[in-house]
Structure 1
C-alpha cells in the first residue's frame, strides 16, 4: 500500500476539512531517514485504515506548504484533527514512537 501525496492545492479539502484525523509526513526523496521511515508510514496507513488518513508532502515540491508549518527538519509528522491545533513529531526513531504519539493524541 502506498500513501497518497498531498499538496497545497488539495491540502484544505483532504487535511483541514477531514472528518477523521490526518497524519501528514513532510519528507523529501533525497532524505535517507525519510526513505527508511516510509515503510513504517505505509504500515500505519494499513493499521489505522478508517480511523486515520495519512498523506505525504514532499518539501521540495511543496515548499510553501512546508514553510507554512515551519518545517525545518525532516521527516516531521503533523497530526491534524478537526478543530484542534496540529501537533507534530520531529524525526521519530521507531514505529512505536509514532504509535505512542498517536495514542497520546487520541488516535487509537
Structure 2
C-alpha cells in the first residue's frame, strides 16, 4: 500500500491527500482543481502560512523577504529556479515581512533574505543572506534528508 501525504494547495490552501507515488504526476487540488505544484513559490499571508507549516507532510522552505531589500530582489530568480528543481519534494513559499510583519516577529527574522526550512511543523534549519539556485537546492537537500 502506498503512503498518502497531506499537501496544502498553494491557491486555496485546502489540505489534499496525495499518494506519495503520485507527487510527480502533476496532482490537482480536490477543491479548486488547480495544480498543487506550479514550479513557482507561493506568496503566503499569516493564515495560509500556518496551514502550510502545520499540515504539509513535505518540507516547506520559506523565503522571508521585503520589496525594498536589494539582496532579496537579487535572490528572487534563483529562488524561482530552485523551486522548479525542488518541487514536488519540497514546497517553496515566500513571506513578505513588510506585508506580514507578525511572521517576521514570530520567527525572530533579524535580516533578510532569510530562508527557513520547516518539517512536520517545526523549523529545522535557517540561513540568512542571498544564495544562488544551486546553493539553495544543496542547502535544502542537506537539511531535508
Asked whether the two chains share a fold, i.e. TM above 0.5, the reply is: yes
Higher mean C-alpha displacement, 7-16 vs 82-91: 82-91
Structure with the bigger RCO (C-alpha within 8 Å, sep 6+) is: 1
Give the RMSD, CA atoms, in angstroms: 1.6
User: More strand per residue: 1 or 2?
Assistant: 2
1:2 CA drift (Å): 3.6
SS of 1:30 mapped into structure 2: coil
**Aligned position for 1:80:** 118
1:84 CA drift (Å): 4.2
**Aligned position for 2:34:** none
1:89–1:49 Cα change, 3 Å:
same
1:29 CA drift (Å): 0.6
Alignment length (residue pairs): 107
For structure 1, the 5+ residue unaligned runs are none
1:40 to 78, 82, 107: 78
> What are the within-5 Å matches in structure 2 for residues 1-108 of structure 1?
2-82=40-120, 84-107=122-145
Higher mean C-alpha displacement, 67-76 vs 3-12: 3-12
1:47–1:101 Cα change, 3 Å:
same
CA displacement, residues 40-91 of structure 1 (integer Å, 9 cap, x when unaligned): 1101111111101000000001111110000010000000011544311110
1:9–1:85 Cα change, 3 Å:
closer
Q: Counterparts of 1:70 and 1:36 in 2: how far apart (Å)?
A: 22
